[in-house]
A = this chain, B = another copy of it.
Amino acid sequence: MMNRVVLVGRLTKDPDLRYTPSGVAVATFSLAVNRQFSNQQGEREADFINCVVWRKPAENVANFLKKGSLAGVDGRIQTRNYEGQDGKRVYVTEVVAESVQFLEPRNASGGGNRNDNEFYGAPPREPQGNPYGGGNQNQRPNNNQGFTRVDDDPFAGNGQIDISDDDLPF
């Protein structure tokens, strides 16, 4: 119905980039968003919000953001659940980013971001047949710098496989 989230915060770690079996990029990261007011103990707390982003912007995130980077997210809240390792249902609430903006100033901490200090997600729904051109649909991507390398199965060795093509937001 309506579901909109806007966040600005800092990555708590380097983003994690993976690929679904059919070759779609997906990056996950956690944003620390400092709260506006201090608590009763006078401390400034933060919320740690898990984010997911798909396709081209996933690769941008992996290439341009790292632990500590200031980033903006425009997206929506998603809930999902899966069978946990112990057989019980695990409930997840996270933010699916439709666009991510790099808010670090130019030539800061070794970035390399062209495009006027920002980049944006691909359109939430893809243009035509082969999304993101180049037939990268069913083959392994070959530029593997900057993210968790995967060989055949991007999720191999990942005990908790809870992201699949079914989670694609489009």
Number of copies of this protein chain within its complex: 4
Task: Select the stretch in A3-11, A59-67, A136-144, A148-156 that faces chain B.
Answer: A3-11
CA distance A66 to B43 in the complex (A): 29
CA distance A3 to B165 in the complex (A): 28
Closest Cβ neighbor of A39 among chain B residues: B166
Cβ of A6: which chain B residues have Cβ within 8 Å of it? Answer: 2-4, 6
- Can you pick out 26 interface pairs between chain A and chain B where the beta carbons lie within 8 Å of each other? A1-B7, A2-B9, A3-B7, A3-B35, A4-B6, A5-B77, A34-B118, A36-B99, A37-B120, A37-B169, A40-B168, A47-B76, A47-B77, A47-B79, A48-B79, A49-B77, A50-B93, A72-B72, A103-B103, A105-B108, A123-B123, A123-B125, A124-B125, A125-B126, A126-B127, A127-B127
